[in-house]
Structure 1
């Protein structure tokens, strides 16, 4: 449980520290990685959804057993960008500095899988199995 708590907390904080400053960097990103952003709704939409997921990671960190069913979805969130970044880099469509966060996401996705496997299911954590539910009050 401690591993999952720490893993998701670190991922959430790291993600927010990486993403939130990007709200102020639209122009610079267009200059550093031309062409300029032509669809700001996609850019800010991506940032909003990605930031919301970082908050979800912090929620999972708060109670890994309760939110264990969300962990595979969190793996999917990390894989969706990580695998796309690798594929785009292999195709010569993004530079290495853009690939790096994708590789970090893949590593976090692997850690999320480990956290999922190491976090007990809610019934097991409460010392009972589904065949032996609590007696009614």
Structure 2
């Protein structure tokens, strides 16, 4: 296994586990979030829908970690998934519409997006080198 594959395996494993730890507890925090960060959630279907989609991606990251070269095409939508929240969170924070904690989460997602893009690039380079040798 190449160093690029090891990097991608570790990256997607860590990100998948981190995401599960960060997101799962939120299923039980709707009321608390409304108290700590008013106003209360007025459209719970958006809140739980976001959590469901985000959790599905964490499972996808763990699957991708098993065979990153095989699942390389999925890295591009994974980058978009991270950019979607990261850019929105930082923009809302800049507009004073989201707290610093949300901006921190957005910054973490932007870092992951950059690392996912790096993994995509490295896996492509690794695969090209392997193909040329055979």
Q: Report deviation, 1:123.
A: 6.4
2:16 aligned residue: 12
2:7 aligned residue: 3
2:60 aligned residue: 56
2:102 aligned residue: 98
Give me the TM-score of the superposition, normalised by structure 1: 0.88
Alignment check: 8 A CA contact 1:86 1:103 kept:
yes
Q: Residues of 2 paired with 1:38 and 1:91: CA distance?
A: 21
- When residues 55 and 121 of structure 1 are mapped into structure 2, their CA distance, relative to the original with a 3 A threshold, is farther
Q: Residues of 2 paired with 1:47 and 1:110: CA distance?
A: 22
Alignment of 1:1-137 (within 5 A): 1-120=5-124, 124=128, 127-128=130-131
Q: Report deviation, 1:118.
A: 1.2
Q: Residues of 2 paired with 1:72 and 1:122: CA distance?
A: 17
Q: CA RMSD in A?
A: 1.7
Q: Report deviation, 1:108.
A: 0.5
Task: Name whichever structure is richer in helix by fraction.
Answer: 2
Q: Residues of 2 paired with 1:124 and 1:100: CA distance?
A: 36
Q: String of CA shifts for 1:34-86, please: whole Å, max 9, x gaps.
A: 01111111111110000000001111101000000010110000000000111
- Number of residue pairs matched by the alignment: 129
Q: Report deviation, 1:120.
A: 3.8
Give me the TM-score of the superposition, normalised by structure 2: 0.90
Q: Residues of 2 paired with 1:62 and 1:121: CA distance?
A: 19
| Residue segments in structure 2 that go unaligned for 5+ positions in a row | none
The 4+ residue runs of structure 1 with deviation greater than 3 A are 120-125
